[in-house]
Structure formats: structure tokens, C-alpha cells
Chains A and B, each alone.
Chain A
Amino acid sequence: MNQTPETPADQSKRDFLQIVLGGASAAFLAAVLYPIFEYLKPPKQAEVEVSSVKAGKLSEIEKDSGKIIKFGSKPVILIRTANDELRAFSATCTHLDCTVQYRKDYGTIWCACHNGKYDLNGRNISGPPPRPLEEYRVVLQGDEILISKKV
């Protein structure tokens, strides 16, 4: 093959073409990947903002027991203590997102997943939970129990 020696003008032409080609390829790749990447992100669903829920009747919940209440899409644990006090906390363990329960035998709130314990003020007292449970307000209207977010 007959090759003419490369002149500086050829070299700069080649550099220019490489930059254009590289830039165009990068832009094209970005244009393909961006929609895919965005598609993978789940869209934000409008959630109904719940500020308070009815949690049933006082007569239906025994002393020294707890139950899980639907608070919007989140679980809340309502506890009627042995001294007949009503308390409510977020039922989502602050450790790894499991749902806690009231343990009569321990007299504490307990998470089955990693043996985390909270006292009846929601404070993390043993096991891996790093933070206390968020407390909710409980109001009694006659026999009806109302749970609402603390402001």
C-alpha cells in the first residue's frame, strides 16, 4: 500500500475527528442510559397523610397486652400496661425495620428479628436497636381510643 507521510495538518484533523467521535459516542450513551436509569427509580406515590386513627374500644383491649394498629401505611403498637395506662409507639423497630410486639413475660416491647427490647416508654434498653421508638399520642374519648401523631 502506498502511504504518504503524515503531515501535522493530518494529525490535527485526526485529533479533531477523534474528539468529535468520542464526544458523540458519550452523548449517545448518556441518551440511552439516562431513561433506563430514571425508569428504575420507583415513582413517588401520593400517600394519604394520616394524622389520627381510631384504634378500637378500650373494653376490647386487655390489660397488660398490646396490639398493632394501622396508621396509614405504617404499623403502630398500642399498649395497655399492667397499671392500666395506654401508650402508643411506632411499631417499626429502629434497628432493621421489623415489626415489634408486646411481650407480657418481659413486660417490654420486643422485636423478634434480632432480640431488640424497648421499655414501655419506647426507649431502646437492650439488643441492637440504635434509637427509641417514636411515641404517638393516645386520647380516650369515652370508650373509643384515638391515636395521633405527636406534634
Chain B
Amino acid sequence: MKTFLKKMYDWVDERVELKGLVDYMGKKYVPVHRHSVWYYFGGVSLFLFIIQVVTGILLLLYYKSGEELAFESIHFIMSKVQFGWLIRSIHSWTANLFILSAMIHMFSVYFEKSYRKPREITWMTGMLMFFLLLGFGFSGYLLPWNELAFFATKVGTDIAGVVPVVGKPLMIFLRGGDDVTGATLSRFFGFHVAVLPGIFTVFLGIHLLLVQRQGMSEPLHWKEDPEQKTMPFFPNFLLRDISLWLLVLNLLAILAVFFPWELGKKADAFAPAPAGIKPEWYFLYMFQTLKFIPGKLWILDGEVLGIGLFGAAGVLWTLVPFWDLKSARGEQNRLANYLGLFAVIYIIILTIIGWLA
């Protein structure tokens, strides 16, 4: 068997010179220091993405889009298809863990200042992927066509509609009409399974290529470290990565089995919004902020103000490598730290308030 594999390898190597590639990958190392644990979250996010692709394709085999079919087809998946409940539950749980893991990855990169020169492009492709993730979450949430999803989509797309000038056409484009109907479901389905994965894969490719090309970022305090311990990426770090992936897969299985994802009630355009309606946790802090902003503030609509503020914060956050020049020079940037800390605390507090309300 070994000689067969060796022969296969040699056969390919002879034609495409694998040796250069293998040597190249062997050069990558991972710095070992007290914050090394954060290096794992990029890998975990990648693993969760792979799970989403696999379970997503499996769900596609039975899911049917359409006002009269979507809810029923998921009901069918969960009650009739063998292990359908497991696949659907894992897809939903993974979606949530994916966003959580990507958030941890993003904040750890932010606080380690790993976005500084020369990794600006890696940071920005990461941020674009994060926004795409929120799009995945928002579009995927509607696909079961249940009551909660129906109103969440009404609110979400209506918020897009308050953006001055481009808002209204954007809202109609998203909804496929003036209201949230089966046309919206068709569009969201298309976004969720074709448009977003396509764009996401391109950014992911660039992101991973850059990480491989530039190597792992060393933290600012690394220079003063007398030891500068490192670990080879292949195979040492990768094996650790894989053991963590196994743990994550087990966690997912436990969550999916003991806390199966509910389907809820089928959407009805002529029922009032149910009491206690809330968006998914990752939108909760924005939702809660909108609740606190009064309808009219001076001459501005409350929503316009809220969206304006969140939009500006998102742009500022994405462009951090370009305004935080201190970190690029190897100096501490307290302002960036305080802003990051403010963002984390704001998100946590508002999420908790939203959760309890």
C-alpha cells in the first residue's frame, strides 16, 4: 500500500513538481506565545464553512423553494428523511457557531493588530467574508418560511429601504417586489445557495493564499520575546487544528441532538407579528439599538440615524489598517484598543439587554 501511494506521489511529482510546493508549505511556522490560542479560530471557521457546504448540499437534495413548498419541504426533511433532522439541525447550529467563531477570529486579529502592514488585504477580505456571513445568516433564516423568519425579513429589508436614495430600489430588488412574498423567498434562496457561496469562495481563496504566502502574524510584543519559540505549521499545528475540529464536530453533534433546531409556525402574511419576536443573536445588538432610538430625532428619522451610525462604524472597522498607522510602525495604539473594547462591550451589553427584553 505504501509503495503504491509512493508511486502515485512520484507519478504526479514527475509531472507537476510537487516537491517545490511541499517545501514551500513546510516553511510556514506558528509563533508560540501567550496569545497563541487565538490562532485556532481561523481554522475553526474554515472547518465550519466546510460543514456548511456539505450539509447545505445535502439539504438541497430535498428542499423546495416557494410559498407553498418551503415550510412543508423542511417539515418533510425533519420528519421523513432518514437523519434529515440531524442534517438540518447541524446546518442551523453550524451557522450560529460559524458566525461566533468568525467574530472571535475577527476581534482577536483586531486586538493583536495583525491587520497591520503587510496584511491589509487579508484583513479586508476577512471583513468582506464576515459581511457575507451575515448575508448568509439573513437569507438562510428566511428559507424555512416560518413566522419568525417572515417578520425578520420584513424588518430587515425595510431597514435597507430607509437608506436615502438607493434604499427603495435596493429594498424592491431584495424583496422581488414591494412586499415580502414568495418572490422574496426565491431570491433569497438564489442568494443563499449560489450568489453568496460563489463570492465567498473567491474571498476565502485570496484570504488563505495570503496567509500561506505571508505566514502567521507575529504580535507586537513578539520582538521583545527573548525565546521567540515557534512550531512548524505542517504537521504540528495542523494536527492540533484537526483535533480541535474533531472537538467542534462533537460539540455540533451534541447541540443538534439535544437541542434540535425548531421549525416554528408557517408564515402567514395576515397574522400579527408574534409577541417576543427577536432576530438571531448576531443581529440583536443592532435591533436593540433601533428600539432605543426614538422615531424622530431632530430632522433625522431614527432608523436613518441608526443605519448611518452602524454603517459608518462598519466602514471604519474594515478600514482599520489604513487609519491605525501606529501599529504598522510597531507602536502601541491605545485609541484602536479603546475603540475595539468599546465595540466588544457595546455588542455584549446590547445583546444581553435584547436577550432579556
Contacts and interface: CB of A to CB of B under 8 A. Distances in A.
A100 B273 CA distance: 6
A128 B290 contact: yes
A68 B272 contact: yes
Nearest to B294: A128
Contacts of A99: 151, 269-273
Interface in B274-293: 274-277, 287, 290-291, 293
Contacts of B303: 95-96, 128
Q: Contact residue range for chain A? A: 20 to 34
B272 A91 contact: yes
A112 B274 contact: yes
A41 interface: yes
A97 B158 contact: yes
Given A96-B158, A98-B151, A114-B155, 6 more contacts: A42-B176, A42-B183, A75-B269, A93-B273, A101-B272, A101-B273
A124 interface: yes
A100 B154 CA distance: 13
A41 B151 CA distance: 23
Given A100-B272, A130-B295, A114 B290 contact: yes
A130 B304 CA distance: 12
Give the interface centre of B270, B275, B303 by most chain A CB atoms within 10 Å.
B270
Interface in A65-81: 68-70, 73, 75, 77
B302 interface: yes
27 contacts: A41-B173, A42-B175, A68-B272, A73-B179, A77-B272, A95-B295, A96-B154, A96-B159, A96-B290, A97-B155, A98-B154, A98-B277, A99-B151, A99-B271, A100-B273, A101-B272, A101-B273, A112-B274, A112-B275, A112-B276, A113-B155, A114-B290, A128-B290, A128-B291, A129-B295, A130-B296, A130-B301
Give the interface centre of A45, A111, A114, A124 by most chain B CB atoms within 10 Å.
A114
Q: Contact residue range for chain B? A: 20 to 34
Contacts of B270: 68-70, 75, 99
Nearest to B287: A114
Nearest to B180: A97
B336 interface: no
A112 B272 CA distance: 8
Interface of A: 40-42, 45, 68-70, 73, 75, 77, 91, 93, 95-101, 111-115, 124, 127-130
Contacts of B291: 114-115, 127-128
Contacts of A115: 291
Nearest to A73: B179
Contact of A128 (B173, B179, B271, B302): B302
B155 A42 contact: no
A113 B277 contact: yes
Contacts of B294: 128
B177 interface: yes
Contacts of B179: 73
Contacts of B275: 112
Give the interface centre of B273, B291, B293 by most chain A CB atoms within 10 Å.
B273
Contacts of B277: 98, 112-113
A93 B183 CA distance: 22
Give the interface centre of A68, A113, A124, A130 by most chain B CB atoms within 10 Å.
A113
A58 B90 CA distance: 49
